[in-house]
Amino acid sequence: MILTHRQVRDLLADHGLSPSRALGQNFVADPNTVRRIARLAGVGPGDRVVEVGPGLGSLTVALAETGAEVTAVELDRHLLPVLRSVVEPLGVRVVEGDAMALDWDEVLGGEDRWALVANLPYNVATPLVLDLLASVPQIDRMLVMVQREVGERLAAGPGSKAYGIPSVKVAYRAVAEVVGRVPPTVFIPQPRVESALVRLRRLPEAPVDTDPERLFRLVEAGFGQRRKMLRRSLASLVDPSAFERAGVRPDARAEELRLDDWARLANAV
């Protein structure tokens, strides 16, 4: 049974636990919300799912209900006994560890085509998503619940205020879209911000032909001074003639460039 708001509070009280601010813990306590996440993730029998930061297991139970094979990765050792008691009877495998420092090959067992579904805290959401896209190809799709502003940055396109370094790095390896919003009222404790559900699907290959290290060096420099024109923000990296070769306006600003614009500029350097 998926945990209700009252059951989450009772579990915390019975075990003398409280959400950790340091770990950015906000536990989902609404059956409709976690079932909605599982549905949007599109997982079911035959799928392998890894969840990061399961907490007390509310979303974990919803994922297990779909018939998927679920592995839950939890950092907080204080929560592990309660989490195990809730989800292991459903066949969920629980792994203790920090998702930012895991041996993912060991956790995923050499199998490919995993889905990641997770409620990610603000402080690790962007670096974790980018790291998994860059270095864990076994995970070919994700459905993550993150702070709304973070979600918008992951999925943003050129010209929007949210468009930035994470947007370009995601676009190099995946297609991302915001597929839903989640109000603060479904969490314990309630955050002060709205959350977003972001779906990411890994691309079979990069959509542009360029060296990613050179590409991202330019992107980081350009967005590091996003109010400046590119001829100024990239002055130390890009020769003026390279803008003409790439077909990129030197008076443009970083947020105006699409991924293919950045790639042409990187190739012209």
23 pLDDT band, cuts 50/70/90, is confident
pLDDT above 90 for 22: no
pLDDT at residue 92, as a whole number: 98
CATH no. for 212-268: 1.10.8.100
- CATH topology (fold) of 5-202: Rossmann fold (3.40.50)
**Residue ranges per structural domain of the chain:** 5-202, 212-268
pLDDT above 90 for 150: yes
Instruction: Report pLDDT digits (tens) over 37-96.
Output: 999 999 999 999 999 999 999 999 999 999 999 999 999 999 999 999 999 999 999 999
pLDDT at residue 18, as a whole number: 87
pLDDT above 80 for 1: no
Instruction: Report pLDDT digits (tens) over 196-246.
Output: 999 999 999 999 999 999 999 999 999 999 889 999 999 999 999 999 999
pLDDT above 90 for 168: yes
Mean predicted confidence (pLDDT) in 8-29: 89
At residue 230's C-alpha, the angle toward residues 149 and 178, to 5°, is 20
pLDDT at residue 157, as a whole number: 96
pLDDT at residue 243, as a whole number: 97
